[in-house]
Amino acid sequence: MLNLSQLNKKLFFAIFSCCLAGAFHHGYHMTAFNIPHQALIDWTVKIEANQSEYQHATWSMTSSMFPFGAFIGSIFTNFKFGPRKVLFHISFFALLGQALMNLSKELDSLLILNSGRFNVGVSTGICSTASAFYLWDIAPTENQKTVIVFFQFFVMISMVTSQVIGMFVGRVSWIMAIMFATIPLTFGIICLQFCPESPKHILFRKQDETRAMSRLIWLRNSTKVTEAFENMKQEQNALGLAPEMTVKNIWSKKLLLCFIVTVSEQLCGVSVFIYYSSEVLHNFGMRNDEPEYVTIGIGLCMTLGTIIALVVIDSLGPKTLLLISLALLFFATTALSVVFQLTITSGEAPECWLFVTCVGSVLLYGFAYGLGVGSVRWLIILKNFNFATRALATALVQPIKFLISGVLVQIFLLVNISWRYYIFVIFSFFDLVFFVYICFYMPRNKMEQESI
């Protein structure tokens, strides 16, 4: 069960500051245009004089700027200046992107909006990795799993915040909904000023034992850190004996597992729900505010699933959560495939049982994603690769996540016109394939093995 005995107010402040600067704008901008998308489309039609057949292409391009930017940013993971310092300085790049988006409506420029969204994406790609590294380094060993899942919980909270603001503010003024993200990002940058650098980075990279000890004392809020510091020294000595890591010799079953888990997160179709759920539900036959309320419900269910993962991750472990998550995702996407096809075939408004099944399936989908697939990816990467190898492993794995997301976001609206929601059958197939692989090839207790 959830164990918070080693967490203190200073450590929690560092964790909260890191999540505020590194996670909030990640989740917020993923869902920023989901609910108020029609207001955005109307604006682009007005300034670009687009014909109706190009509206979906314009919306897809604007939406995909974020994951494609994150794809570029996630390649840069070798933080020689320390994860906290990188997170602090790159957050200003996110502020620049935020400023461009804030000015785009005033200047009537879609190019500026897309440029700002791309900048925020690049920042997110770097900051998400820096945040995960920093949180893993500063957390006590017994709380590392919990802290990493808490980071994903913060992403979910920011997604729900974005959806709620988009619901009540975005449709009136979508630019006001975008501007809101500036507040927590600025506050997170200020808070990071008062947080120490990772003690492991100072010890391993700078070879400064005195500074590393002082940072560890600050984070533990106690002078009784001898055992923790000795463990760090032992890890440092082990790293000195390890061979230099290259792309050629880092390849292993561990890295393949990280690839599989990362790809499973995207090929379950989560980007469709994050970016386009309100459009999908509207096309299904929901009317008025129903798609928007269900979209918020999806975000809340994702958050609920992540909370449960936060509580049970130590007792159940990553493999069990992944298997439960993928099984539920398979049933949810299969049910949605059937429901959508029956509704399209009838050509009428969905019957009550179809409506209830659709709502139940998308809510189940959100819960299942938050429970496993969306929560444990960073845990698997960080537990399987040590301080010296994690940067290279992440640079190989993390860009795949954002690249697949960007491609799905770019093509879904256009492909769905001809495929008529058969794409959910493809998502179901991948859920089943990844379930079988993880069931047979992911050791249940492998997370506790020695790092490479």
Per-residue pLDDT tens for 180-196? Answer: 999 999 999 999 999 99
pLDDT for the residue numbered 187: 96
pLDDT for the residue numbered 2: 60
pLDDT for the residue numbered 41: 85
pLDDT for the residue numbered 448: 44
Tell me the pLDDT tens digit for each residue of 287-322. Answer: 888 999 999 999 999 999 999 999 998 889 899 999
**pLDDT > 60? residue 204:** yes
pLDDT for the residue numbered 243: 58
**pLDDT > 50? residue 120:** yes
Q: How confident is the model at residue 14 (pLDDT cuts 50, 70, 90)?
A: very high
pLDDT for the residue numbered 4: 67
Mean pLDDT of the chain: 89
Rounded percentage of the chain residues whose pLDDT exceeds 70: 92
- Give 86's DSSP letter: H
Token readout for 441 is 């090839």
In a domain, 236, yes or no: no
- 214 and 202 Cβ atoms separated by less than 8 Å: no
- Give 288's DSSP letter: T
pLDDT for the residue numbered 391: 86
**pLDDT > 80? residue 79:** no
In a domain, 227, yes or no: no
pLDDT for the residue numbered 173: 84
CA–CA distance, 446 with 432 (Å, rounded to integer): 22
pLDDT for the residue numbered 451: 43
Q: How confident is the model at residue 53 (pLDDT cuts 50, 70, 90)?
A: low
User: Residue 261's domain is classified under what CATH number?
Assistant: 1.20.1250.20
Residue 296: domain span: 9-195+242-448
Tell me the pLDDT tens digit for each residue of 206-240. Answer: 889 999 999 999 999 999 899 999 999 988 888 76
In a domain, 224, yes or no: no
**Residue in 372, 377, 411 with CA at minimum distance from that of residue 397:** 377
State which H helix or E strand residue 158 sits in. Answer: helix 144-165
pLDDT for the residue numbered 55: 77
pLDDT for the residue numbered 452: 41
Q: How many domains does the chain have?
A: 1
Tell me the pLDDT tens digit for each residue of 256-269. Answer: 999 999 999 999 99
In a domain, 318, yes or no: yes
Ranges 75-84, 294-303, 318-327: which has the least confidence: 75-84
pLDDT for the residue numbered 371: 95
Q: How confident is the model at residue 109 (pLDDT cuts 50, 70, 90)?
A: very high
Tell me the pLDDT tens digit for each residue of 408-425. Answer: 999 998 888 777 778 899
In a domain, 168, yes or no: yes
CA–CA distance, 200 with 141 (Å, rounded to integer): 13
In a domain, 128, yes or no: yes
CA–CA distance, 285 with 347 (Å, rounded to integer): 10
Residue 451: strand, helix, or coil: coil
As a whole number, mean pLDDT of residues 238-253 equals 68
CA–CA distance, 370 with 154 (Å, rounded to integer): 11
Q: Mean pLDDT: which of 73-87, 129-143, 335-349 is highest? A: 129-143
Ranges 4-13, 103-112, 132-141, 155-164: which has the least confidence: 4-13
Higher pLDDT, 154 or 444: 154
In a domain, 4, yes or no: no
- 156 and 302 Cβ atoms separated by less than 8 Å: yes
Residues 6+ apart with CB under 8 A from 115: 97, 100
In a domain, 437, yes or no: yes
CA–CA distance, 112 with 118 (Å, rounded to integer): 10
CA–CA distance, 400 with 155 (Å, rounded to integer): 19
pLDDT for the residue numbered 447: 43
Q: How confident is the model at residue 450 (pLDDT cuts 50, 70, 90)?
A: very low
**Residue in 106, 150, 121 with CA at minimum distance from that of residue 29:** 121
**pLDDT > 60? residue 77:** yes
